[in-house]
Homo-oligomer: A and B are copies of this chain.
């Protein structure tokens, strides 16, 4: 997690400081986290911290970029590009849960962005674009008759995204059953959580 190229002191690379910073952002919230908090969590003083990173918002942007790259990468995968709309949708959901697991802190931070700064608004717009592509895929599946009647596409898409994204609020890596989670989510989202009356 340290020693950039093997020279000089132990030193802190930008990557490990980002890890620390994002963890703090997620526990206290971005606005409530001070640079003092970040440097203390990293084990150095505030000014030393500034020698490695250019500012608070740069850390946020790096974290949000990582989360968005992970999510948009899903849309470029072959299984997301060809085949029946419903199959593509299931693959995207499966992979979205996987990315949420592997990039948990970054995705969590992304899902909490409010739009106060230019960076946050940029991330918000990108995230909305991701959700929109899922929504259009749901609409396509409905139009193709692959989804049972009575499902209002935009509502279904919103609940779908909401369900998947809510995982970030309780999932913690390393617990048993983590590997099975993506498949379980796809199954439950398909079969329903509790049976209808």
Does A173 have its Cβ within 8 Å of any Cβ on chain B? no
Check A190 against B185 for contact (C-beta < 8 Å).
Answer: no
B residues less than 8 Å from A93 (CB atoms): 194
Check B184 against A152 for contact (C-beta < 8 Å).
Answer: yes
Interface of A is mostly: helix
Check B156 against A166 for contact (C-beta < 8 Å).
Answer: no
Check B162 against A193 for contact (C-beta < 8 Å).
Answer: no
Number of A residues whose C-beta is below 8 Å from B? 49
Instruction: Please provide the chain A residues from 164 to 197 with a CB less than 8 Å away from any CB of chain B in the complex.
Output: 165-167, 169-170, 177, 184-197
Tell me the bound Cα distance from A105 to B151 in angstroms. Answer: 27
Check B194 against A141 for contact (C-beta < 8 Å).
Answer: yes
Does A7 have its Cβ within 8 Å of any Cβ on chain B? no
